[in-house]
Homo-oligomer: A and B are copies of this chain.
Amino acid sequence: MIRFLHAAALLALASAAHAQPKPQPLPAPPAEPPTPASIVADAPASDWRPIDPADLLVMELAPGRSGEERRVVIQLLPPPFSADWVNNIRTLARAHWWDGTSVYRVVDNWVAQWGAGEDEDGRAAPLPPGLVNVPESAYVTPVRPGPEDGRDFVLTPRREEVMVNRWIDPYAITAFVAGWPVGLDDSGGRTAWPVHCYGSVGVARDLSPDTGTGAELYAVIGHAPRQLDRNIAVVGRVIEGIEHLATLPRGTGEAGVYADRAQRVPILRVRPGDELAPGDLPAFEYLATDSASFARYLQVRANREDAFYKVPAGGVDVCNVQVPVRRAAAG
């Protein structure tokens, strides 16, 4: 919104400094209230967790019009969330099944969708062996009330902590687990599920009871379509290169499919991160959602008090939290 905020802020500080009488020692400038960016910058190394390259998918689209590389890096959800679909996706990636398929459907404020594996005659390419049919019950995963150490909920059977988000939500109680935003139902069955946010990757499917194999995937390129939660499997999120999907032309055919096959965006290859040559994939890390830094980050996301903001929001939508993920500093 503001065009040169950093420049303006620096200028203001510089002017303030300039107003001080020269010979006197300069007082420390007043501490600026923290911002999400400053908290991320100040988070100690111990609050970051590495992302295993084996948990990444690297999708390379055909170069853009100016010849630019278009690489999309997807982080897969850790178990127990959507585990069987994620296993299918690993199988598909190891089989190089998506190579030569395309992004064939793009709908504004909704999704970009790829896979399909249809040749020019519309026949689907055969799927690799080993894929499983996942039941609808796998859209959610059980949680249990935590032990007597103050934790509200833990995932079963991993006993991983579920950090409940204090901010209210129109759809569900929300929480964070191992760097991921989740919904939570404490009304009876006690379940948790990954939520659809901008950049989330999910498994396209036909009508129930079909749950999709994972061969057709989509990424959210608009406002969080939370009504899909528990109705479609979320399997990951785009951590780099979402713009290569979000800027694609919108499809004008039925349901946003490209009306002309020539508009389809070729997928050169999709590879598991650990199949790439060393040096061809940067290391990534995320801010641990059970860290003190993340707690501060969440608080400031809900209550901005830096110079640009006049009225702190007093809350934050779980999809506006945006768990920090970044390239790790070179070791």
A interface list, Cβ under 8 A from B: 1-9, 12, 65, 105, 108-109, 111, 113, 116, 136, 139, 167-172, 197-199, 202, 204-208, 216, 218, 222-232, 242-243, 246-250, 254-255, 257, 301-302, 304, 307-311, 313-320
CB-based nearest B residue for A115: B3
CB-based nearest B residue for A316: B170
CB distance from A176 to the nearest CB of B (A): 15
Whether the Cβ atoms of B167 and A254 lie closer than 8 Å is: no
Whether the Cβ atoms of A246 and B317 lie closer than 8 Å is: no
The number of times this chain is found in the oligomer is 2
Whether the Cβ atoms of A208 and B308 lie closer than 8 Å is: yes
Please report the C-alpha to C-alpha distance between residue A193 and residue B250 in the assembled complex, in whole angstroms: 32
Task: Find chain B residues with CB under 8 A from A248 CB.
Answer: 247
6 closest A-B pairs by CB: A170-B315, A230-B311, A198-B223, A227-B313, A108-B243, A167-B170
CB distance from A6 to the nearest CB of B (A): 7
Task: Find chain B residues with CB under 8 A from A311 CB.
Answer: 139, 229-231
Task: Find chain B residues with CB under 8 A from A6 CB.
Answer: 254-255
Whether the Cβ atoms of A208 and B310 lie closer than 8 Å is: yes
